[in-house]
Amino acid sequence: MQAYTPYATTSGWNQITKGSDRGHERKLSSDLRIKFAIVGAGFAGAAVARRLCELYPDDEIVLLDALPAAEGSAGRSSGFMLDRADAKIDVRGAGPESDWHTDILQAGRAWLEDIVSTQHIRCDWRDIGHYKTSTTALGAKELNALLARLDAKGLPYRQLSGDNIRSELGTSHCTNAAWFPNCVLIQPAELIHGLLATLPAQVTLYTESPVRRLDKGAPHTLIVGQNKIQADIVIFCNNVTLPFFGYGKYRQITVYTYAGMTPELTTEELDKLGQASDWGATPAERLGPTTRKLNSRRFLFRAGFSYKKELSPDHINAVLRDMYAKRYPQMRSHQFEYTWGGALSMTRNGVPIFGRMSENVYALSACNASGILKMTALGKLLAEEIAGISGRLLSDTLQFSKPLWIPPEPIRSLAVNYNFAKLKRKMREKETKASA
Ligand SMILES: Cc1cc2nc3c(=O)[nH]c(=O)nc-3n(C[C@H](O)[C@H](O)[C@H](O)COP(=O)(O)OP(=O)(O)OC[C@H]3O[C@@H](n4cnc5c(N)ncnc54)[C@H](O)[C@@H]3O)c2cc1C
């Protein structure tokens, strides 16, 4: 495992981000002695830093990232902020665990909404809900199960007819779809740039400054290139590379997923992608694609997974273009201007790695594929845990954040590949049955 993820591609969102929230970046070039060092400037790290400022207004905080700002997974994501656990296809846990998950998502949304509005962060915040679509009988079954769960709780949604799907989403490829209100869509690179740029002055952000080693002590020492940072408290918010520093090795695995963004489209081409100027859809099939028609006149396609290794840009491009063409054969071109991959940390039972790891070392990891709201809320709670502040959401988080053991290699690879193959086979079987 490497200390950080040197991606083969850059985020398309970051490429199209212009504006004032850039320019807050610099590389570490001297030794430092501080109170708090946070490793990783994604949603988790940004949230820990902001809350620590409120709790320790007189202490210096350093936030480090190996990559330029918004080039980690935060700026590579698809920008869906779904705030109900029970409105997800992949429901993990039931009863109190699912309620806790929803509480976390809603706490993340409330806090982010407040920061975005008070700090005037421009990130195309769109409270427009989202669609769930299915293209297979397996997906239809998952979607129906989701609707039954929502019915049981009296939660709102709107089911789409075939005509609605064609007029709202511009595709005949999806057989079933429903729209749900509980989702805000954002431009993720703009959001993370804005969150980092508006941190209080007591935080110094260093980008392109990978931490390569932790020497434990009092204080701890982080090795960053030729420089050393001595910190009383170290907080790892570095997602997939947490095991490199000796934590979470048998609790989390790394999975990559991929996205493509088209060039700006003509009005005629945009009209073929449904009536509204922007919308977002996530798949009812666990391995299916996420799609977004964007206000910026582009189309986003997110699909595909790989275990541990990033696929080559050419391969990603070919796979995404093929899927895009299947869904939208009417488009004049299926070229993407940008394609990229992003790394995710996953646990077996879908809960995060959260809390104290050893003396004055804390960690937050394992977003389990969707982490904008979740890692924001958990980052805030982790700062409160460090400060010794108690509360119901924090005690629930400590109670439920118990990731299950994952076996080492080679059993790990066998198990992951077996599960991927099983999901793909299930989708194919249901497709065959549906067309028989
Ligand atoms: C293609 C794609 C689409 C996604 N879509 C969505 C979505 O629609 N909605 C959603 O909620 N989530 C989505 N996600 C997931 C989301 O991106 C993550 O859940 C979120 O970014 C996790 O936040 P984090 O702060 O834990 O980790 P990250 O955002 O990955 O931040 C960790 C940071 O740590 C840095 N780092 C790692 N090692 C080191 C080191 N040694 N030294 C210094 N820095 C280091 C990394 O460079 C990185 O910037 C998507 C992810 C991808 C890849």
Q: What is the pLDDT of residues 64-97, one digit of tens each?
A: 999 999 999 999 999 999 999 888 877 665 688 9
Q: What is the mean pLDDT of residues 11-25?
A: 80
Please report the atom of ligand 1 found closest to the CA of residue 241. Answer: 38
- The domain covering 12-76+189-250+348-400 belongs, at the CATH homologous superfamily level, to FAD/NAD(P)-binding domain (3.50.50.60)
How far is residue 341's CA from residue 315's CA, in Å, rounded to a whole number? 11
Residue nearest to ligand 1 atom 44, measured at CA: 65
Residues sharing a CB contact under 8 Å with residue 396, sequence separation 6 or more, in sequence order:
96, 100, 103
Q: Whole-model pTM above 0.85?
A: yes
The best mutation among 64, 77, 206, 207 to test binding of ligand 1, ranked by most ligand atoms within 8 Å of the C-beta, falls on: 77
Helix (H, G, I), strand (E, B) or coil at 300: strand
Cα separation values, 223 from 151, 220, 248, Å: 53, 10, 20
Q: What is the pLDDT of residues 127-154, one digit of tens each?
A: 999 999 999 998 999 999 999 999 998 9
**Token representation of residue 346:** 């996953």
Helix (H, G, I), strand (E, B) or coil at 107: helix
CB of 281 closer than 6 A to ligand 1? no
Q: What is the pLDDT of residues 417-431, one digit of tens each?
A: 888 888 777 766 655
CB of 400 closer than 6 A to ligand 1? no
How far is residue 345's CA from residue 353's CA, in Å, rounded to a whole number? 10
Which residue has tokens 């511009």? 170
Q: What is the pLDDT of residues 244-274, one digit of tens each?
A: 999 999 999 999 999 999 999 999 999 999 9
Extents of the domains making up the chain: 12-76+189-250+348-400, 130-181+254-346
CB of 40 closer than 6 A to ligand 1? yes
- The answer to whether domain 12-76+189-250+348-400 and domain 130-181+254-346 are alike in fold is no
Which residue intervals of 239-347 are DSSP H helices? 267-271, 313-327
* Orientation angle between helical segments 392-400 and 96-118, nearest 10 degrees: 130
Which residue intervals of 388-410 are DSSP H helices? 392-400
| DSSP-derived pairing of the beta strands 290-293 and 227-236 | unpaired
CATH 3.30.9.10 is right for the domain spanning 130-181+254-346: yes
CB of 210 closer than 6 A to ligand 1? yes
Buried b (16+ CB within 10 A) or exposed e, 283-292: bbbbebbbbb
| DSSP-derived pairing of the beta strands 353-358 and 361-365 | antiparallel
Residue nearest to ligand 1 atom 18, measured at CA: 371
Buried b (16+ CB within 10 A) or exposed e, 393-430: bbebbeebbebeebeeeeeeeeebeeebeeeeeebeeb
Cα separation values, 363 from 4, 155, 244, 337, 346, Å: 16, 35, 13, 36, 15
